[in-house]
Chains A and B, each alone.
Chain A
């Protein structure tokens, strides 16, 4: 077996999910190569070459990769695959990976496997369906397995310990006149990133409006926590979609998850039920969130959250 992992980064720094993806790759056995594709991203290639368990780094540095558009990266991946004949191609199940992997798979006439949470054998994988309501074990008959990996399901490998050589990736002289990157507006926040935070505090429809989320932001700042939201809160327009925790949003598995005014719809539970400790605050004692919570507080959140805030130093 030999696996190619597509590194995710912003041309400056590696995105942590790459470490989880390399961990999944190691479970497959065999060599692990990492493809770093971007624009002036040699710094990232250096970072990747030190990752534990990475045997080789392929670097594709070209202006055509600006914005990491899949129209440019997919042909590069196909050229790389044609040269090295990997048995597996992996990327993290992020906006980047989900955008790129199926486009590449179609060019290779392969049916990709999305968002795996486990590796049973080199051709058999475990993933969730129906928003985590059922767990599917699926065997791939394709010659190359093309996969996205749920980061929270694989413990990250170490960022040091490796000393892989870097070589240029084949076929990086691509052009792209189909699409064009215009701009990016990332939410600026001093709080930790949602999928990597040790503590996550999420609000649901019970928050009533966007302004009330300030209660959660204040508490989060005291607890060094990230703030998330249920799909209901996003649908209602309280907060932006990138805060959504759930099967159609982000999958998180922090040490501590505090669900505030969240009823616990299945699709939300799918995004957070692997958290180590779950606390639920909801005034409805029958809310399904209490069925998964380690500690439940049946109380009006507008009373409970300020009180909690005042009791935490």
Chain B
């Protein structure tokens, strides 16, 4: 059995710990001078790909990102974690604003074909737009099977047995390779990049591309009309004792 070639998508997003602020023009959120990092679900995807390589199931792990130049930092992080090389499709300015999962899926599917990829590992969703679409759409464009929301994957002779997180429990499916897998929370715990590996990652190859290199047009399917703060919920009252709480619950007819 030959080892698999794995492609991993990683998105640069506003760090999960940053407080989001809506821009004064109400068309987006403030990103300037704000800490960014790799989408946490993509970290899980990278980790799983590296583990496949450590188990000698994967021969090469290629990290992919698209977006502004700064996305290259995210790719360096992926390589510091253990990806062998990276592909960056640069998309800037107006185009970056219209960039959506459908475009990313188109790019990923072209890269996968060009690189003769067997497994595409992606995070189940990005924590900025919360779309949860890219893995499903990539699989669709390639006519590959999809194993989304994976919490466990097992190699099974040219297919993968995948445990999925579904509403109310777990489900197991089998997908033939090539396939797209999207990572849920409990798939693994991503490693931290060590300093020597961060240094090494600076020398790993990073290919710079444009959407046109893959024949993909970043056409606007949607238009964001408005971005607003969510309605603020008023804080209520602090209670002194559990008895006080029981009174409130009784008043509300809950007990």
| CB proximity to B under 8 Å, residues A290-310 | 290-299, 304, 307-308
Which chain A residues border B245 with CB–CB below 8 Å? Answer: 279, 295, 297, 308
Q: Is the CB of A135 within 8 A of B227?
A: yes
Q: Is the CB of A129 within 8 A of B221?
A: no
Main DSSP-derived SS at the B contact region: mixed
Q: Is the CB of A138 within 8 A of B184?
A: no
Task: Say yes or no for B176: interface residue by CB 8 A criterion.
Answer: yes
Can you sample 18 A-B contacts with CB below 8 Å? A100-B136, A103-B139, A110-B221, A114-B130, A135-B228, A179-B145, A179-B147, A179-B176, A185-B169, A185-B171, A185-B172, A187-B169, A195-B167, A242-B165, A242-B170, A267-B16, A295-B236, A297-B244
Q: Is the CB of B235 within 8 A of A95?
A: no
Q: Is the CB of B165 within 8 A of A95?
A: yes
Stretch from B4-12, B85-93, B247-255 that touches the partner:
B247-255
Which chain B residues border A96 with CB–CB below 8 Å? Answer: 166-167
Stretch from B51-59, B99-107, B195-203, B207-215 that touches the partner:
B99-107
Q: Is the CB of A307 within 8 A of B133?
A: no
**Which one of B225, B242, B246 lies within 8 Å of A138 (CB-CB)?**
B225
Task: Say yes or no for A40: interface residue by CB 8 A criterion.
Answer: no
**Which one of B223, B230, B239 lies within 8 Å of A141 (CB-CB)?**
B223
Q: Is the CB of A131 within 8 A of B174?
A: no
Whole-angstrom distance from the CB of B254 to the nearest CB of chain A? Answer: 5
**Which one of A139, A180, A182 lies within 8 Å of B225 (CB-CB)?**
A139
Task: Say yes or no for A248: interface residue by CB 8 A criterion.
Answer: yes
State A183–B166 Cα separation when bound (angstroms): 12
Stretch from B61-69, B70-78, B110-118, B121-129 that touches the partner:
B121-129
Whole-angstrom distance from the CB of A263 to the nearest CB of chain B? Answer: 13
Which chain A residues border B248 with CB–CB below 8 Å? Answer: 279, 295
Q: Is the CB of A130 within 8 A of B130?
A: yes
Seen from chain B, the residues whose Cβ lies within 8 Å of a Cβ on chain A are: 14, 16, 19-20, 22, 29, 41, 100-102, 105, 124-125, 127-134, 136-141, 143-149, 151, 161, 164-176, 179, 184-186, 220-230, 233, 235-239, 242-246, 248-249, 252, 254-255
State A111–B129 Cα separation when bound (angstroms): 13
Whole-angstrom distance from the CB of B194 to the nearest CB of chain A? Answer: 22
Whole-angstrom distance from the CB of B90 to the nearest CB of chain A? Answer: 21
Q: Is the CB of A103 within 8 A of B222?
A: no
Q: Is the CB of B137 within 8 A of A105?
A: yes
Contact status of A94 and B238, CB under 8 A, knowing A135-B227, A247-B130: no
Q: Which residue of A lies closest to B160 (CB)?
A: A179
Q: Which residue of B lies closest to A247 (CB)?
A: B130
- With contacts defined as CB atoms under 8 Å apart, how many contacts are there between chain A and chain B in the complex? 250
Seen from chain A, the residues whose Cβ lies within 8 Å of a Cβ on chain B are: 67, 69-71, 74, 94-96, 98-107, 109-115, 124, 128-142, 177-187, 193, 195, 199, 222-223, 231, 234-235, 240-242, 244, 247-248, 250, 255-256, 266-267, 273, 277-279, 290-299, 304, 307-308, 311-313
Q: Which residue of A lies closest to B139 (CB)?
A: A103
State A278–B236 Cα separation when bound (angstroms): 9
Whole-angstrom distance from the CB of A29 to the nearest CB of chain B? Answer: 20
Whole-angstrom distance from the CB of A103 to the nearest CB of chain B? Answer: 4
Q: Is the CB of A134 within 8 A of B255?
A: no
Which chain B residues border A296 with CB–CB below 8 Å? Answer: 235-239
Which chain B residues border A140 with CB–CB below 8 Å? Answer: 221-222
Q: Which residue of B lies closest to A237 (CB)?
A: B186
3 closest A-B pairs (Cβ-Cβ)?
Answer: A111-B221, A294-B236, A102-B136
Q: Is the CB of B172 within 8 A of A106?
A: no
Whole-angstrom distance from the CB of B138 to the nearest CB of chain A? Answer: 8
State A178–B145 Cα separation when bound (angstroms): 5
Q: Is the CB of B223 within 8 A of A138?
A: yes
State A182–B172 Cα separation when bound (angstroms): 5
Whole-angstrom distance from the CB of A298 to the nearest CB of chain B? Answer: 6
Q: Which residue of A lies closest to B148 (CB)?
A: A99
Which chain A residues border B145 with CB–CB below 8 Å? Answer: 71, 178-179
**Which one of B14, B161, B175, B185 lies within 8 Å of A234 (CB-CB)?**
B185
For A74, A95, A142, A293, the residue with the greatest tally of chain B CB atoms inside 10 Å of its CB is A95
What 13 new A-B contacts, CB under 8 Å, besides A106-B141, A138-B223? Answer: A70-B146, A95-B165, A102-B134, A130-B20, A130-B29, A138-B222, A180-B174, A185-B169, A187-B169, A291-B235, A296-B237, A311-B246, A313-B255
Which chain A residues border B172 with CB–CB below 8 Å? Answer: 182-185
